[in-house]
Structure 1
């Protein structure tokens, strides 16, 4: 049962853990764009700009959304684009495996933070890989992978 003392955990989850999971997801896209010689910007949140560090921006409502925009891949083909689209989920899956390994080996103790982190990471992977078209110009990572592999059609903005 959700009680008043659970509010601290609730706020911790939604204002720290969820943005951290989103950061790791977008970092995956960003790193793969960089590996394939492209240029990217990485934005965490919506609203007014809070701060900018190089190609990384954090906006006022940092906990609401995140995305990565890229262009000009040096190695520009359907497979490199598909890897860029999949990279967010690959980074989330890697972080889950690392956390579980560190707990299993005794370097970290089981804690609600890690449970929340893994829970949000799994949901990020699941929902990003569902092949959904949100609008004519915006698709999930899974749909973007499908479109680029089947039709050669790439998109430049990733959630």
Structure 2
């Protein structure tokens, strides 16, 4: 039965945990772009911009979607672009393994926050790596990786 306590957990997950997972994901893309000489900007959410701090924009509907834009890379080849596309999943995987390792070694105590965080991170990685086209102008990280490695096509976010 879905009760009031479940509603609190749902809101916590939806409004705090999922956006945190998204921020880590897009930070991975931005970090990889930076490593290869690009300048990344992060958009957290959709809608009008609420707050802009440096290259990060927080939008009104912050818990739905996030994306990273980056310009030309100084090291611009198929491999570097594939790593930029994979950067989000790599960051999510690193946090999943880090949290599990810290729990195994009793540095962190298991609790619902870590459970939800790892669950949403795993979910995010799985669906990001599926090679699918979400719309005419938006593809998954998996499809972007495939296309850049196979055909040399660089994926551009058009928002």
- Specify the alignment match of 2:26 in structure 1: 26
CA contact (8 A) 1:71 1:156 kept: no
| Whole-angstrom distance in 2 between the partners of 1:156 and 1:81 | 11
1:1-159 correspondence to structure 2 within 5 Å? 1-157=1-157
Report the CA distance between 1:146 and its aligned residue: 0.5
2:93 and 2:156 map into 1 onto residues whose CA distance is: 23
- In the alignment, the residues of structure 2 paired with residue 153 and residue 135 of structure 1 have an alpha-carbon distance, to the nearest angstrom, of 17
CA contact (8 A) 1:70 1:157 kept: no
User: What's the TM-score once normalised by structure 1's chain length?
Assistant: 0.96
Which portions of structure 1, spanning 4 or more consecutive aligned residues, are displaced by more than 3 angstroms? none
Distance in 2 (alpha carbons) for counterparts of 1:72 and 1:153:
14
Q: Normalization by structure 2: what TM-score?
A: 0.96
Residues paired across the two proteins, number? 158
Q: Secondary structure in 2 aligned to 1:76?
A: coil
CA apart distance, 1:102: 0.8
For 1:135 and 1:70, locate their aligned partners in 2 and report how far apart those are by CA, in whole Å. 20
Q: Which runs of 5+ in 1 are unaligned?
A: none
Task: List runs of 5+ in structure 2 lacking aligned partners.
Answer: none
Q: Cα RMSD between the aligned structures?
A: 1.1
1:138 counterpart SS class: coil
